Structure 1
Amino acid sequence: MLTCGELLVELLEGFGVDTVFGIPGVHTVELYRGLPNTRIRHVTPRHEQGAGFMADGYARVSGKPGVCFIITGPGMTNITTAMGQAYADSIPMLVISAVNNTEQLGMGGGRLHELPSQSNLVSGVAAFSHTLMRPDELPEVLTRAFAVFNGARPRPVHIEIPIDVITAPADHVRRKLGALPSRPGPCPDAIQRAAQLLKAAKRPLVLLGGGCADADGEAQRLVEALDAPTAYTINAKGVLPKGHPLALGCNQAWVPVRQMVLESDLILAIGTELGETDYDVVFDGNFRIESKLIRVDIDAEQLNRNYPADVAILSDSCLAMKALLAALDPAPAFSADSVGCQRAAKVRDELEAQWPQTWNGQRKVLDTLQRTLPDLIVAGDSTQPVYSGNHLFEATRTRSWFNSATGYGTLGYGLPAAIGAKLAAPERPVIALIGDGGIQFTLPELASAVEAGAPIIVLLWNNSGYGEIKRYMQNRDIPTIGVDIYTPDFQGLARAFGCNAETATSLEHLEELLKSAAKADRPTLIEVWEHAEFLA
């Protein structure tokens, strides 16, 4: 007899799933019965939050949904933080959980792992949550989930299956999966109206978001056709080649870029929610758009959030950019000494003059990382070199720099996300850039990395506490309570987990350690002290 749980993994493989993150429990073990009959790899984190962050990192690098098997009750409460981070950053994640037997749902009988409603619990961090009441529903519900990932704004989806449904017979279930929708294309009338505005603009500016991550070629051709200086969000790093003369980086919160925004006569925003953690990281409310605004987004509700559009184009970013390029044809030939490039160069010079002196040491580390491992992936946490790197670091391609300092802003993300990233791209060096405070949220995932054969590099920025919050409190005359935390022996802990561990004593030594770590067969923790003399 084929059970619903066995059918589930068969169908997941049919959708191209090759990795599942999860911790087996008594309510989910029947989901595992059919795994040996597939090519799906199972990775065991040490906490369900780690499972969600691994799935997130895997999805950001691969572009495919990260999939989790999660136990009822505490497993679901544990993973909701990771779902919140993925929801905020539009990351595809499929969370499949058990739930109590159908006749026990909502009864409040004090059953093992019982919650009043798991579905209600996660509804705020999921595109949808569905309770599967019969095996017959499974193909349709899975197709619906992958339709969200493939043709809409990608966000987590939760499917919960009662224990008795997981074990129910499923031989009779029709295996045919529904066709997945193509991404929506733009309305021709809206493209023409946008093209007319773009052709008439004298000082255009382009803002690109994470929705453009898979359309870097189209983005480059479009901004060059417009001769428009271009800023992009953290999740869009790499959308323009490093050193491109029109690039402004992720610096929308800095005065020179904000001034350019105000001076521009037309702004084209594509695949970006124009949200606070990319456009107002100083939280002063002074990012303003006062010119005409064209917005392109795959999410209809997002098109007028934060800033109302003059032209709203509901479309996949790549398809919209192709249509705009066709409407602008013939576009003038691009020149690196054009007016737009001169405008961008002036802003870049002003930015360079304004970087804080406190970033100097962090910049040395970031430059060493990229010089030593040019094709690296950086999964960052909320830590000082990540905050500065969001402005200073230029990725060589998309899906190579991401972190939890944007969107939801969770601590502990960097380590498990790097594991997921390494599993998605085993041929590339992957760095978890994390602080001594953040790593203590998910430190046991070092064991998961060893077990999974994921030789990531953990670059640990150590300032013996929550340094960024401490500085924030000091600047506001608030007593620095709770930020000077105990600092354990991270190298001893890393070695106990089966990792290599060293402290960098110079930039040259850091370079040597990085080269060695990139060839290692196990994770390597490299500790960098904030106040080290070589960073002065």
Structure 2
Amino acid sequence: MSATHRPLGAQISHMLKSRGVSVVFGIPGVHNIEMYRGLEEAGLTHVLARHEQGAGFMADGYARASGAMGVCYLITGPGLLNSTTALGQAYSDSVPVLAIASCLDETAARKGQLHQMKDQRAAAETVCAWSETALTPDAAYSLVDRAFGEVASGRPRPRALHVPIAALGAPAPVFPAAPPKADPPRPSDSQIRAVVDRLLAAHRPLFIFGGGARGAASAIPRLLDQTGAAAFTTYAGRGLVPPDHPLLFGSFLARPDSADVIAEADLVIVVGSELSECDLWRTDLGHRSAMLRIDIDPAMLSGHAPDDLVVQGDAGALLQAVTVAIAARIDNRAPAWSAQQIVARRDVWRAAVAAERPGIPEICDVLRDALPDDAMIYSDMTQFAYAAKEIWDMPRPGHWHHPYGFGTLGYALPAAIGGAVARPGLPTVAILGDYGLQYTLPELGTAVELGLSLPILVWDNAELGEIKDAMIRAQIAPNAVVARNPDFIALAEAYGAKACTPETLQALARALSDALEAGRPTLIRMTPALVSLG
């Protein structure tokens, strides 16, 4: 097909390929088949999901693993709506996803059309950075490039592009060459000096690193040594500080008495974190000092006290510059924090997790030791993950992904599929609960089709354990928290996957290692009896 005679649907696929996209997740339907006309010719790989929510989660998982845009192709109306849970999760967790959906050509005068809804564009806008309809090829091309440009220069979040069915099938001119991309905002020399001055004036500085600080990973250990600062990480920031660093408090921010520790600091530096409810589970951080806030999103830099310092910019560029500037003024400072007291505090917090969720810490230790350092983990909303996020230190950043703010069930399996596609040959693991697995269980078929050596660790406590515990704490008689589970082993084998229920911790470690080499997914059912059985 000549480049000058392609329908718009095919041109969009070729344009995506030219912008660096290699994989698209989706489901073809009668309305969006023109988007599939040019897929193979463009050199794109299409991964067939079993549900549009799964396609959205796969695009999310791919983006988190690769650092590139995740793309999904959707059909009009219900296909787009099915994906909005995944798009909402991507929005909450700052994940770059581009959803491209067909839409009806006209909805005002004609009613009762297939897949018709009142306002498809507005529906997607509720969970995306923006949602726009392209009525012409030029508009479609402009919006695609706008999505890629904004993600490169600002906070990454999902975008939705809707293209009318007739336009997708109509001839379209060739898309333009890629425009230059803007860089993220960079701090000025005066801002860098102000940050350095604040750090050197502090006697007991404390850093809090969030997932948005990932670009600064190489600078962070040096910065802590230079300043003598201690550090917390958010759940999303795990791995930014080496796990064996003596002044790392870990990812225990949500422990209520972490506020007492934070109150001891004379400067709190928050880098790349919203400090959201899901980071703290309390109304305020607990600091009594001034705060230094560094974030790429200006919305995070408002509402601060007069003595605080806020800097908008890329955390990686800023902290690299700060380490250079500090080195020119001082050698490393002796820490004012006690490493022994930090270890003791971490031990207390781990013991609290173990008391709240018996058996899970021991299983976490076994799994962590059995996994290679470059393993990438995707977890779901399950008690197992809630405990693991606090006690499972990561050897490198950006290798544990969880549906944080939006908190969607069913995330882990399809997201892990997307992550495994992004990192062929590298270890990827899904961790989820017995109930959450059933939200997106059919995506197991996709993992089998792709031949992914994907361990799927299922915490089967035969109940909605977190909700049951919450009801008991609220003095509500537990209700609707027990559902009849299927035979997960038989289900997995019916899809063509491997499956097992290890009876000891040693057998669990062997099963995990075998699953990473299996050539197909393996469902590994874990039960609370694992610890008592040894």
Measured in 1, the distance between the counterparts of 2:435 and 2:70 equals: 26
Partner of 2:523: 525
Question: For structure 1, which runs of at least 5 residues remain unmatched after alignment?
Answer: none
State the SS of the aligned residue for 2:492. Answer: helix
Structure 1 residues 258 and 308: alpha-carbon distance in aligned structure 2, compared to 1, 3 A threshold: farther
Structure 1 residues 176 and 200: alpha-carbon distance in aligned structure 2, compared to 1, 3 A threshold: same
Partner of 1:339: 336
Residue identity (%): 37
Measured in 2, the distance between the counterparts of 1:111 and 1:360 equals: 54
Partner of 1:89: 93
Match of 1:135 among 134, 137, 147: 137
How far apart are residue 510 of structure 1 and its match? 0.7
Structure 1 residues 54 and 128: alpha-carbon distance in aligned structure 2, compared to 1, 3 A threshold: same
Per-residue Cα deviation, 1:292-316 (whole angstroms, up to 9, x for no partner): 0111111111212688871111101
Q: Does 1:303 align with 2:304?
A: no
Partner of 2:389: 390
How far apart are residue 167 of structure 1 and its match? 1.3
Kept after mapping to 1: 8 A contact 2:203/2:336: no
Match of 1:25 among 22, 25, 29: 29
Partner of 2:275: 274
Q: Following superposition of structure 1 onto structure 2, how do residues 46-61 of structure 1 map, counting pairs within 5 Å?
A: 46-61=50-65
Partner of 2:12: 8
Structure 1 residues 354 and 465: alpha-carbon distance in aligned structure 2, compared to 1, 3 A threshold: closer
Q: Following superposition of structure 1 onto structure 2, how do residues 68-79 of structure 1 map, counting pairs within 5 Å?
A: 68-79=72-83
Partner of 2:505: 507
AA matched with 2:47: V
Measured in 2, the distance between the counterparts of 1:349 and 1:243 equals: 14
Structure 1 residues 486 and 306: alpha-carbon distance in aligned structure 2, compared to 1, 3 A threshold: farther
State the SS of the aligned residue for 1:213. Answer: helix
State the SS of the aligned residue for 1:320. Answer: helix
How far apart are residue 334 of structure 1 and its match? 4.4
Kept after mapping to 2: 8 A contact 1:56/1:86: yes
Measured in 2, the distance between the counterparts of 1:307 and 1:380 equals: 36
Kept after mapping to 2: 8 A contact 1:505/1:534: no
Measured in 2, the distance between the counterparts of 1:159 and 1:309 equals: 43
Per-residue Cα deviation, 1:418-472 (whole angstroms, up to 9, x for no partner): 1111111122221111010100101111001111222211101001121111111
Partner of 1:185: 186
How far apart are residue 126 of structure 1 and its match? 0.9
Measured in 2, the distance between the counterparts of 1:184 and 1:319 equals: 10
How far apart are residue 14 of structure 1 and its match? 1.1
Match of 2:148 among 146, 149, 169: 146
> In terms of mean alpha carbon deviation, does 319-328 or 443-452 score higher?
319-328
Q: Following superposition of structure 1 onto structure 2, how do residues 285-296 of structure 1 map, counting pairs within 5 Å?
A: 285=283, 287-296=285-294
Per-residue Cα deviation, 1:231-278 (whole angstroms, up to 9, x for no partner): 111221111122112222111122442212111111111111111111
AA matched with 1:245: P
Q: Does 1:436 align with 2:438?
A: no
Partner of 2:120: 118
Match of 2:410 among 412, 418, 421: 412
Kept after mapping to 2: 8 A contact 1:44/1:448: yes
Structure 1 residues 198 and 533: alpha-carbon distance in aligned structure 2, compared to 1, 3 A threshold: closer
Kept after mapping to 1: 8 A contact 2:229/2:335: no
Measured in 1, the distance between the counterparts of 2:472 and 2:289 equals: 38
State the SS of the aligned residue for 1:527. Answer: strand
Measured in 1, the distance between the counterparts of 2:358 and 2:508 equals: 16
Kept after mapping to 1: 8 A contact 2:206/2:231: yes
How far apart are residue 214 of structure 1 and its match? 2.8
Q: Does 1:162 align with 2:164?
A: yes
How far apart are residue 38 of structure 1 and its match? 2.2
State the SS of the aligned residue for 1:109. Answer: coil
Measured in 1, the distance between the counterparts of 2:102 and 2:298 equals: 32
Partner of 2:230: 229
Measured in 2, the distance between the counterparts of 1:289 and 1:155 equals: 30
Match of 2:359 among 358, 361, 376: 361
How far apart are residue 286 of structure 1 and its match? 5.5
Partner of 2:251: 250
Measured in 1, the distance between the counterparts of 2:274 and 2:172 equals: 42
State the SS of the aligned residue for 1:60. Answer: helix
How far apart are residue 341 of structure 1 and its match? 5.4
Kept after mapping to 2: 8 A contact 1:186/1:313: yes
Measured in 2, the distance between the counterparts of 1:373 and 1:151 equals: 34
Structure 1 residues 279 and 32: alpha-carbon distance in aligned structure 2, compared to 1, 3 A threshold: same
Per-residue Cα deviation, 1:89-127 (whole angstroms, up to 9, x for no partner): 1011000000011xx134451211111111111112111
AA matched with 2:241: L
Structure 1 residues 306 and 293: alpha-carbon distance in aligned structure 2, compared to 1, 3 A threshold: closer
In the superposition, the TM-score normalised over structure 2's length comes to 0.95
Measured in 1, the distance between the counterparts of 2:305 and 2:466 equals: 30
Measured in 1, the distance between the counterparts of 2:155 and 2:49 equals: 27
What's the Cα RMSD here? 1.9
Kept after mapping to 2: 8 A contact 1:214/1:398: no
AA matched with 2:76: T
> In terms of mean alpha carbon deviation, does 337-346 or 268-277 score higher?
337-346
Question: For structure 2, which runs of at least 5 residues remain unmatched after alignment?
Answer: none
